[in-house]
């Protein structure tokens, strides 16, 4: 399936545009010629049943798939007009500018401060590190809870706090876009709600692509939703349309819970 879904980018340049992106793991085609446009400073949700290729597609957007030896990506991913898979592109630089938050909170075994400061440090940040750490923790709504114990181990935090710490850590390198791979799937409902509120706040400044298997979550937080099934992009459009008036029968079957 290679239908292109036109998205109204409201007159602005899209943040990211995938063109015929396919991913092979050996002989298995996990993502099949997917094309979609991610508008700037909006939240795009990728939904679909387990194994539909949504996480794999997400990982194409910051060249995280390069780390999987068996994965082969073809097609183009244009970020602000630059193809991320062009030969001269350095994947390290791509990952610095396009941040990622993972499914399970994965703080480093270091202090809260050092977790947030890690990215700026390895990237040679020369400004006021204390201020940057505070700013990042405030952005991820964690500052009030941890400002008096920045030296404590990150492992002492609850799961939800750890995930917000991971978001702060991602924001500290000042990315231009944030990818989230089921960021709340390992969290309880209250921690999940806090993450969702946070995403709502963050889209003022960031373009966010989020993978979720929770359809209510996609409906609540995203502006656009892409439904993937067996590696195909079945349908992509404004979230409201996808959830109230889907064009494809498979989409309707999935969002009404008839399979998946």
Partner 1 sequence: MSAPEPTFMSTSSPRSIRRRRMGTVFAVLCGAATMVGVVSLAVLLVDVALDGLPRLDIDFLTSFASRLPERSGIKAALVGSVWLLVLTALISFPMSVAAAIYLEEYAPRNWITRIIQTNIANLAGVPSIVYGILGLALFVRFLGFDRSVLSGALTLSLLVMPVIIMAAQEAIKAVPGTIREAAYGLGATRWQVVSTQVLPMALPGILTGTILALSRAVGETAPLIMVGAVGFIAFTPSGPMDRFTVLPLQIYNWVSRPQDEFRALAAAGIVVLLVLLLTMNAIAIVLRNRYQTRS
Contact 81, 13 (CB under 8 A): yes
Among 19, 24, 41, 97, contact with partner 1 (rule: CB under 8 A): 97
Under the criterion CB under 8 A, does residue 183 sit at the interface with partner 1?
A: no
CB of 137 to partner 1, least distance (A): 16
Rule CB under 8 A: choose which of 22, 56, 170, 192 binds partner 1: 170
What one-character DSSP code corresponds to residue 247? S
> To the nearest whole angstrom, how small is the minimum distance from the Cβ of residue 184 to partner 1?
16
Region near partner 1 per CB under 8 A, out of 99-107, 128-136, 188-196, 207-215: 99-107
Task: Give the CA-trace dihedral at 21, 24, 29, 30, to 10 degrees.
Answer: -70
Q: What is the DSSP annotation of 176-243?
A: SEEEEESTTTTS-HHHHHHHHHHHHHHTTT-EEEEE-S-HHHHHHH-SEEEEEETTEEEEEEEHHHHH
Burial degree of 31 (CB within 10 A; 0-12, 13-18, 19+)? buried
Give the shortest CB-217-to-partner 1 separation in angstroms: 21
- Does the footprint of partner 1 cover residue 69 (CB under 8 A)? yes
Q: How far is the CB of 105 from partner 1 (least distance, A)?
A: 9
Question: Binding mask 104-123 vs partner 1 (x if CB under 8 A, - otherwise)?
Answer: x-xxxx--------xx--xx
What's the order of all strands across the beta sheet hosting 71-79?
A: 28-38, 16-25, 71-79, 82-83
Q: Is 159 helix (H, G, I), strand (E, B) or coil?
A: helix
Q: Pick the closer one to partner 1 by CB: 67 or 86.
A: 67
Site residues (CB under 8 A) for partner 1? 62, 64, 67, 69, 92-93, 95-97, 99-100, 102, 104, 106-109, 118-119, 122-123, 166, 169-170, 173
């Amino acid at each position: 399936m290679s239908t292109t879904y036109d998205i109204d980018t409201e007159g602005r340049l899209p943040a990211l545009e995938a063109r015929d992106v396919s991913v092979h793991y050996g002989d298995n085609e996990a993502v099949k010629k997917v094309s979609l446009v991610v508008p700037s400073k909006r939240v795009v949700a990728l939904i679909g049943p387990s194994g539909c290729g949504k996480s794999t597609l997400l990982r194409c957007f910051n060249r995280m798939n390069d780390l999987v030896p068996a994965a082969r990506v073809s097609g183009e991913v244009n970020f602000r007009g630059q193809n991320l898979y062009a030969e001269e592109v350095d994947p390290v630089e791509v990952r610095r500018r396009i941040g990622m938050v993972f499914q399970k909170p994965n703080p480093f075994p270091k202090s809260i401060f050092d977790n947030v400061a890690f990215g700026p440090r390895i990237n040679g940040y020369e400004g006021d590190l204390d201020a940057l750490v505070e700013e990042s923790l405030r952005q991820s709504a964690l500052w009030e809870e941890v400002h008096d114990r920045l030296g404590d181990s990150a492992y002492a935090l609850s799961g939800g706090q750890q995930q917000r710490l991971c978001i702060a850590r991602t924001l500290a390198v000042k990315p231009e876009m944030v990818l989230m791979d089921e960021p709340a799937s390992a969290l309880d409902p209250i921690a999940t709600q806090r993450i969702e509120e946070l995403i709502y706040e963050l889209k003022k400044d960031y373009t966010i692509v989020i993978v979720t298997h929770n359809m209510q979550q996609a409906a609540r937080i995203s502006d656009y939703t892409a439904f993937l099934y067996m590696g195909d992009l079945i349908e992509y459009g404004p979230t409201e349309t996808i959830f109230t008036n889907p064009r494809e029968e498979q989409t309707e079957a999935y969002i009404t819970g008839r399979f998946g």
